[in-house]
Structure 1
């Protein structure tokens, strides 16, 4: 018997299934396309309460380091005894006793090694002794030149003389007095006051003892003298730096400086700075028969 022809209900079921599948596919694609993927920050899952590494140091400084290597209880800019990137294992300073103990232990170890070497050499000498009896004696070494005792004595004397000469020169330099040279322009008050008083005294003595020969002959002129005075006021010496051209005036100037001695002793503030004061001054024998100290 032949199969009956398909009815109209079957095509409608297949269309319904196809429509549902397409609708589901469209919904899934729509969800996928509308979904946005956001990158998660991994630090959100880190523990905010991380441990803090603090280093205890046994020194400190007033300056804080620009780029610190670690955290500490005080500021410490630099320090240590090595350029390597290392840290101290203990906050306490190194113990000298510990270092001494290590040195003693190393020395004891070295002594033990030397004793062992000595024992080995002694045992080897005892073993080789019978063999050395039958061996010929070694050839004598060439004699070294004898030391000349006279030459050594001569060198010792030369060294002693050189040392004595150096010592004598050093003592002479140490004993040399401190000298100060001043001219007409004196800045320090102590020196300026002393020079003014000294010039006034020389002028007073010079006017009283004006050279009679210069007055008779009508000789006048100027000369420059350097007078050196010791700390006690005594005269050390007089030098003519520039002559007046007249022997009468030159000799009279030196004579007047000598007649004015002794001068005043140095005050305490001058004694601390100098032992001898050398004053350079220009002296003028005027037409009016007077001695005047000028610049």
Structure 2
């Protein structure tokens, strides 16, 4: 408060108060001029802080945005609501991020459709019996063939120097004498010239009619010339005497096995 100032002093005080009010946001009330004692006027200046402006209510668009964000849950609740900004100084745009729902840990099992029931085909009993009948007939025919083959298989009898049964021993002795006679008459010349001697085992199969079935060298003499000479002598001696009725009744082939000996003196002998 300034007392005892003239008109110039009042003007200066009023200008100062106006500047301070503009700078500090202080409202200035008109001075209350009261006469003072002694006939002097007194100027009182009251400085009052201006009240802060009250915030304006949100606009209709802001309220609609708040309602829209409110449906988004917690993310919408955390968003700031923009206030009215007539001069456009404040950015009223709001960016809202929504979290994606977590992916399921396990996939749902596939839906399996129930299998379509199919009826089994009807059993053809007649066809089964026909098939079994054909199989039985085939097996029966094979058994018959085997039986016939066995029945038709030649009956064989093996004889050697150790055979004691008279009918076979007698036939073998006749066979040996004929072979020995032919062998001595047709003694191999190569054996004479080279003085070859040795023993061999020969197998001769004779049929019931006296014909030779097979000739085989079971053990060689060590000289191919002597082995070939033994085979040649049997071929020259064939055919042999037919089987007598006692042998023919039970035997079709005689398998004769004998040891042949090409001895010194160019003669043919026999071993066991």
TM-score, structure 2 length as denominator? 0.52
Secondary structure at the aligned position of 2:177 is classed as helix
Give the drift of 1:240: 1.5
For 2:270, the equivalent position in structure 1 comes to 293
- Does residue 178 in structure 1 map to residue 155 in structure 2? yes
Shift of 1:148: 7.8
**2:235 paired residue number:** 258
1:278 aligns to what? Answer: 255
Which residues of 2 match residues 129-144 of structure 1 at below 5 A? none
Q: Deviations over 1:191-230 (max 9, x none)?
A: 1111111101001101111111222222110101121111
Q: Of the candidates 200, 203, 211, which is equivalent to residue 180 of structure 2? A: 203
1:143 Cα offset (Å): 7.6
Q: Name the one with the larger strand percent.
A: 2
Q: Which residue of 1 aligns with 2:219?
A: 242
2:164 counterpart SS class: coil
Q: By how many angstroms is 1:159 displaced?
A: 3.1
- Whole-Å Cα distance in 2 between the matches of residues 283 and 166 of structure 1? 43
Which structure's residues are more often helix, by fraction?
1
Q: Which runs of 5+ in 1 are unaligned?
A: 1-141
Which residue pairs with 1:268 in the alignment? 245
Query: For structure 2, which runs of at least 5 residues remain unmatched after alignment?
Result: 1-118
- The answer to whether residue 135 in structure 2 is matched with residue 158 in structure 1 is yes
Aligned to 1:227: 204
Aligned residues: 154
Structure 2 vs 1, CA of residues 205 and 143 (structure 1 numbering), >3 Å: closer, same or farther? Answer: closer
Task: Output the CA distance in 2 between the equivalents of 1:257 and 1:283.
Answer: 11
Which secondary structure state, in structure 1, belongs to the residue aligned with residue 243 of structure 2? Answer: coil
Q: Secondary structure at the match of 2:210?
A: coil
Please give the residue correspondences for 1:82-97 in structure 2 after superposition, counting only pairs within 5 Å: none
**CA 1:217/1:143 → structure 2, altered by over 3 Å: closer, same or farther?**
closer
Give the TM-score, by structure 1 length: 0.48
Q: Higher Cα Rg: structure 1 or 2?
A: 2
* SS of residue paired to 1:237: strand
| Residues 1:217 and 2:180 are matched in the alignment | no
